[in-house]
Amino acid sequence: MSADPLHRAGTPQRSTTSPPSGGSRASAVEVRRSARRRRTVSAYREGDRTVVLIPARMSEAEEQRWVRVMLDKLAAQESKRVLGDAELTERAERLSEQYFGGRARPTSVRWVTNQNTRWGSCTPSEGSIRLSHRLQGMPEYVVDYVLVHELAHLLVPGHGPGFWRLLEAYPRTERARGYLEGVVAADRLPHVPAARRE
């Protein structure tokens, strides 16, 4: 039996799984209803999905509204977690081990505030990797993609076919590239002034 408090309190009346709305990092949302839960709603990440716990008496419309609220709340909490340089270095080492068998060994990995046109940079001769502070607060898979990209440059300096073959090891390459392209496109949109109140 699962250690989930919901299961200890009794079997949920209904459980549904659906794709998330918007840009959530999870691939699915599971809603668990409980007769024991009266007013509170909570949510947490479980692997690649989000679990939302709600009272059994909630209507479908309330359920949908609360799922959106909780997804936004989780995303806001996650965006506030900023890795320090030491954590960024540890993450790069783990990614190198996972995708490159530990062959990419950076001497330093750090955030910088002077990269406004690039997401990351690497100096292979020094083994240093720098990530733009603009990545802070973006989804983990996007930060990981930029780290993997820069780690690959420690093994293959240019952007030739060998470099892109290395990046094929990271399963979320296309998704992360699409996310970053969307951020760039949004920055280029004209900013419409707020409508004046009469």
pLDDT digits (tens, 9 = 90+) for 57-74: 999 999 999 998 888 888
Sign of the C-alpha dihedral computed for residues 125, 138, 133 and 181 taken in this order: positive
DSSP 16: E
The residue ranges of every structural domain in the chain are: 28-79, 85-188
pLDDT at 24 over 60: no
pTM greater than the 0.85 cutoff: no
Calculate mean pLDDT across residues 84-110: 93
- Per-residue confidence at 196, pLDDT binned at 50, 70, 90? very low
What number of other Cβ atoms are within 10 A of residue 73's Cβ? 13
Statement: 85-188 belongs to CATH 3.30.2010.10:
yes
pLDDT at residue 122, rounded to an integer: 94
State the pLDDT confidence band at 17, using cuts at 50, 70 and 90. very low
Predicted pLDDT of residue 45: 81
Cβ neighbours for 192, distance < 8 A, ≥ 6 positions apart: none
pLDDT on residue 192: 55
User: Residue 95's pLDDT band (boundaries 50, 70, 90)?
Assistant: very high
CA atoms within 13 A on the CB side of 175: 15
Which pLDDT value is given to residue 181? 93
pLDDT at 81: 63
The tally of CA atoms less than 13 A away on the side-chain side of residue 50 is: 26
Closest to 15 in 3D by CA, of 49, 68, 56, 43: 56
Q: What is the pLDDT of residues 115-139, one digit of tens each?
A: 888 999 999 999 999 999 999 888 8
Which pLDDT score, from 0 to 100, does residue 190 have?
Answer: 75
Position 145 confidence tier, pLDDT thresholds 50, 70, 90: very high
Q: Can you tell me the mean pLDDT for 2-29?
A: 45
Mean of pLDDT over the chain = 81
| pLDDT value of residue 193 | 54
